[in-house]
Structure 1
């Protein structure tokens, strides 16, 4: 039963990845559908991010109070309905509301899947967590292919594409209805009036802010960076972006057996070292196309394990509740909104190199926060051990 339950989570995250990656490739079609310019409709990305942030704030409290599989099933069905309705929406304001709803439910699925998987496996969640996020990446990889093929089959229409993506929620929905939800976990009782727990939660959220901000910034700006500096053609820059996300997904697949053997702290330390080394290559040899490709692939592989392994490490150190996980996703959402925006504000005035400088500085600060995390976690464990002895 446990193996089949895990498959349900994997199907849910593959559907989530497909839905998350659908907006970009269909944006021109949605602009035509709503008789809107691309410059006007592009704010749907911000609307969806706002919905995701809202969902991250609310979802944890819900999972701490209600059966998780019922909530996940409802969120998946809502996501499927939202996707199915997109091709029928000819008014921009209605499409905006749908994207806001999509962001909320996608966040609920994301928070819920991560939280419930932790509750299923506890400190042994590492390999399962990396597998879960691999399936998210697989869905994000398959989504543009599905969209392209269905648009070709229907001579450019996006209706069939969104209907196919909407149907992808059904396998997970059917499987979740067959299995009971994991028992709801009470919040961990921290030492010294929960001060140690609150400090760790803030540090993990800050680490997520920095890491996700760096990841989204690189994936979002590497195309423009390469074109602006004349390091590649437009076609090659598109492939470069795909290779970054592909390396990130492949790295999660490769890391699955490693997470069963290595402590999350060791995995994170090695991944951060790989990120810093890749950024040094990108900065020192920034006029070399070969260094750009090598650094991009190295960064994708290094970043691949950080998000899922951070959650596994947090479970190893704290007894995670849904609300705690929500705080981490709030930090991640804010990072994804803030750091790419900062690069955009400075890109033209400072130059394209500001992209790599900001990402490099962000990762260096992430290393500092990670060091504080290790120190604070040791204090937390020592305090817990002293409490058990007394």
Structure 2
């Protein structure tokens, strides 16, 4: 018989209190501190590859369209199937974490990415549906690793906000470097653009080995214990707790935060994925426009680190409003002023403004959601949010197919306005679930 579940809140105005106090760590040994450093490096590697995958597609889209003779709408299926894989991976991660554990799932995620990117690297001899299948499998792997990595960092007791910023900056670093690499491959002879995925396969192999060495297939509880953190923010893995999922789904705050991040991630990937096509077609930027995508992702990476002091100074809640308003102003410049140089600089600054928002969202989740439901909640939020990375770019492609790629900027501006409105609905209170 199910136990009734209810939801209560503790008043917590984030504009006044930027963070909720976490259990302090006991004095740790040098070995434990170094173990944590190694873990953060490994998790940063998984986020780096996530950014690498998201950042590489934008410069390749024109070549993919040319090679397979695709419209904007059909090529947008790449976003849809990657999203489908991501949602399945995120949902599966919620259930499989309890059965198999944190360390093993990191390896499973890497394996899916290796298979998916291998298929994409062979695009020269494969039909478009197989290339799309590769994107789907990559999405499954990315979701599995991202949910585990982000939830782990959010569960840390020592400086979680800074470590979340660092690991999410690694995402930006991957998204910065990959367009630079992909752009070089687009300049090769017909069809050779797909060889850029060979590099991605190699990076995934390194990531798999690194995670295996650092985490050794252990559960999250065991890994946290190895760095001297005995008080957990997550339930023990390997224990059958079917009520956790029901409790998590009963919390309104989880779904509001997921919706906010759905629009955020969708807007971010829409800009990174379509800005090259916009610059080539509307601003006549030529084949070097791939570097503009790199500028956007580079700004995003820097924003997640350089703006940490500002986030702390004005409060993370206020910071989201400031960054959203600034990004809207910059997007208006891109749309209204027909200057390639100004547009390129503005795109990078938009990335800077958007950069801190995902880490802020994850930190906010750790502050307002019940600790024992944090891993499941973040997996759910990640799965819903990443679906925005398919839905919004697909909608953009469909609109561009009817009205031209110049419609990108009005669409992005509308999404940024919606983003600011959604942030007003996200609770500022600590939610308690009583079972």
TM-score normalised by length of structure 1: 0.79
For 1:168-317, list aligned pairs within 5 A.
168-169=206-207, 170-177=209-216, 180-182=222-224, 183=232, 185-186=234-235, 198-229=251-282, 231-235=283-287, 237-258=289-310, 263-283=315-335, 285-317=336-368
For 1:140-179, list aligned pairs within 5 A.
140-143=175-178, 158=195, 161-169=199-207, 170-177=209-216
Partner of 2:155: 119
> Quick check: which one's helix share is greater?
1
1:207 touches 1:369 (CA, 8 Å); kept in 2? yes
| Aligned partner (choices 143, 165, 171) of residue 136 of structure 1 | 171
Note the C-alpha offset of 1:302.
0.3
User: Which protein, 1 or 2, shows the higher relative CO under an 8 Å CA cutoff with sep ≥ 6?
Assistant: 2
Question: Structure 2: which 5+ runs fail to align?
Answer: 1-34, 225-231, 236-240
Closer/same/farther in 2, CA of residues 105 and 312 from structure 1, 3 Å limit = same
Counterpart-to-counterpart distance in 1, 2:302 and 2:248:
38
Moved more, 211-220 or 296-305: 211-220
| Deviation string, structure 1 residues 230-262 (Cα, Å, up to 9, x no partner) | x34223533322221221122223134555666
Note the C-alpha offset of 1:370.
0.8
Question: Structure 1: which 5+ runs fail to align?
Answer: none
For these two proteins, the number of residue pairs brought into alignment is: 371
Instruction: Give the match's secondary structure for 1:181.
Output: helix
1:211 touches 1:366 (CA, 8 Å); kept in 2? yes
Note the C-alpha offset of 1:328.
1.6
Closer/same/farther in 2, CA of residues 29 and 352 from structure 1, 3 Å limit = closer
2:176 touches 2:296 (CA, 8 Å); kept in 1? no
TM-score normalised by length of structure 2: 0.71
> Over aligned residue pairs, what C-alpha RMSD do you find?
3.9
Counterpart-to-counterpart distance in 2, 1:245 and 1:349:
28
Counterpart-to-counterpart distance in 2, 1:222 and 1:28:
11
